[in-house]
Each structure stands twice: as C-alpha cells, then as structure tokens.
Amino acid sequence: MKTAAEVAETAVEATRERDSRIFLLAPTGRDAPLAAEALRAAGLTAIVCSSMEDLTRALTRGAGAVVIAQEALTPPELDSLSRTLQRQPPWSDLPVLVLTGSGRATEAGEAVLASLEQLGNATLLERPVRIATLVRAVRVALRTRHRQYEIREHLQERVAMLDQQRVFLRDVLASVTEGRLRLCDTLEDLPPRLPALAEPIPLSEAVLRRLRREVLHAAIQGGFHEERADDLVTSVNEAGMNAIVHGGGGTALIGGKRLPSTKAALETVQVWIEDQGSGIDMARLPRATLERGYSSAGTFGHGFWMMLKATDRTYLLTGPKGTTVVIEQDQTPPAPTWMRE
C-alpha cells in the first residue's frame, strides 16, 4: 500500500505528464501519425486527434503544445480553436505549431498565423519538415510551456499565502474587537438580510441626513434606548459617508428582526451599505481598527474605530468591484466576552 507521500508524488507525476502532452491534428495524409511516431521516438507524449472537436476537448484537460496542419484550419475550425485559446487563464499561452505548405501556399499560412497571433503563441513550420526540426521546435515549445507552469505554480503559492494571511487577519481582528468585526470572503459569509423597514436609499451627501433620520426612527420605534439608537446612527453615518467619498455613492437598506412576542418592538436593526468602488485597502485595516484617530484614503479611517465601538456587529466584504458593510445593533446590549465564555 502506498504512503501518502507516494500517492502525492504519483499525482504530481501524472499532472506533469498530462501538461506535457503534444496534440496533433492533420486531417489528410499521414502527417499526424508520422509526426506522432517521431515525437514518441524522441521520448515525448504525442496524441493524434481525429477532429477539431476532439482537439479542443482535449485541450481543456491540459496540454504542452499543439501541432496542427494548415488544411485543418478552415474558417469554422480556426474559429473553434480561437475560442478555446481565448478561454485560457492569464498565465497560459499555449504554443501552437502550424504545418504549412511550401511556396505560394505559405501566404495562406501567414494569414492563419496572423489570426492565431492575436491570441498568442503561434509558429509556422513549412513542409516538408525534417524530423529533427520538428522535434527541436516541439521541445522549444515545451520549454516555453513549462516556464508558464512555473508562473502558474508561483501564482497558486501566492494565492494560498494571501488566503492564509487573510484568515489570520480575520481571526485576529475578530479577537481584538471581541467579535464586533467580521471580515467576509464571499457573499455567503454575510448575514441573512432581515425584512426591510424602509425603501432602499441611494447614497449621496444630499440624502445622508435622510438615512440618519430613518435609521433613528426605526430604532426608536422598535423600542431601542436612545443611546443605543444614537450609537447605531453614528455608525451608519460613518459607513454611508465612506461609501459616498471612497465608493462614489451606493445604496443603503434598513431592515429589522421583530421580537416574537410583539408586533412593533425590534430585537435587531440591520443596515446594509453597498457601493461599487475600488474596495478598501486591507493592509491598512488593522490600524483603522485598532488605532483611534487613524485616517487614510481607501480605508474607513477614524470613523471605522468609532463604528466598532458603537455597534454590536459589523460585517465587511470588500474587493475591487465594491464594498458591502452590514451593521447590526441589538436592542439589548450583548454580554461582555468574558461573561459569554
């Protein structure tokens, strides 16, 4: 029975072999089988495809390079290959070697190359091609491809490192704020929307007063003590102003959860503030959270510190496409952390 390390090594080797495969497509003559035989004799993994559909399907599972005859690139087939190559991830630029005719036919090959060059890495090989020339061209293509895989691995490692840093940051900030700040990675991490208590409010400086007024009205009508209601208004005002100044505006929505035993009293008031700005600089978030008076463009500044002191829970989801802040205030203040533990 294989150990975990041996299983992992086997999986790595299988991935390397899959990512180094050369796919060949030449619908007429014996170009494809002969080229595949030559490449296999050189120790390479060569697979002959029967059609463009077969080729494009295979490419989605991993490839090192493509060798394709010019006559296989009719306008519909070229369009099919182009669409497949356009779906490559940013790090990928699959090498495509096109076997052209000789003499005047090369002009048509140049037209094919011009089409493929718009998408990336295409090279013409004029027939008849010497076996040594074909093998050398394919090896060069594979070296280029393997450098792309190194970039892919570097990006994967970086993403994993950033994910670990974000989890650490989320846990630390949750701890030092006694659970008041909850960083979210996806929409699913945000709390469920509570039933709306008012119509959505488009955010601008002209209507910020209206937002404060409606939040205060909802809290007071829901039975909140005046101090708790004022704290909520302060937090919502800071979040709304941030969306206006740094997010170019946005939308606010006031919701609430009613106490089971009454029709008017609210257990919780919840305010969503969403914008489509460039997001918050997460590198500055710890100082904005922990340091009173800290302020910088692209963060909540000193207002964020106030928000966390004034309300029970603040959920934050931010990225290059915008920021969502959800502020929740309960009618009854939560017990201190040490009592809850």
ω before 286 within 30° of 0 (cis)? no
pLDDT at 46 over 80: yes
Q: According to the model, what pLDDT value does residue 295 have?
A: 54
**Could you give the strand order of the β-sheet that contains 266-275, starting from the edge strand earlier in sequence?**
181-183, 313-319, 322-330, 266-275, 250-258, 201-203
Summarize the confidence of residues 200-224 as an average pLDDT: 94
Give bridge partners of residue 251 from the DSSP assignment.
202, 274
Fold classification of 177-340 is: Heat Shock Protein 90 (3.30.565)
Q: Are 2 and 10 in contact (CB under 8 A)?
A: yes
CA–CA dist 284, 294 (Å, integer)? 10
Q: According to the model, what pLDDT value does residue 4 have?
A: 47
Q: Which CATH number is associated with domain 4-154?
A: 3.40.50.2300
This prediction has a pTM of 0.62
Where is pLDDT greater, at 242 or 154? 154
Highest mean pLDDT among 5-14, 129-138, 239-248: 129-138
DSSP string across 112-166? HHHHHHTTS-EEEEESSPPHHHHHHHHHHHHHHHHHHHHHHHHHHHHHHHHHHHH
- Using only C-alpha atoms, what is the Rg of the chain? 30
Q: According to the model, what pLDDT value does residue 217 have?
A: 95
The domain ranges of the chain are: 4-154, 177-340
Q: Are 32 and 69 in contact (CB under 8 A)?
A: yes
CA–CA dist 326, 254 (Å, integer)? 10
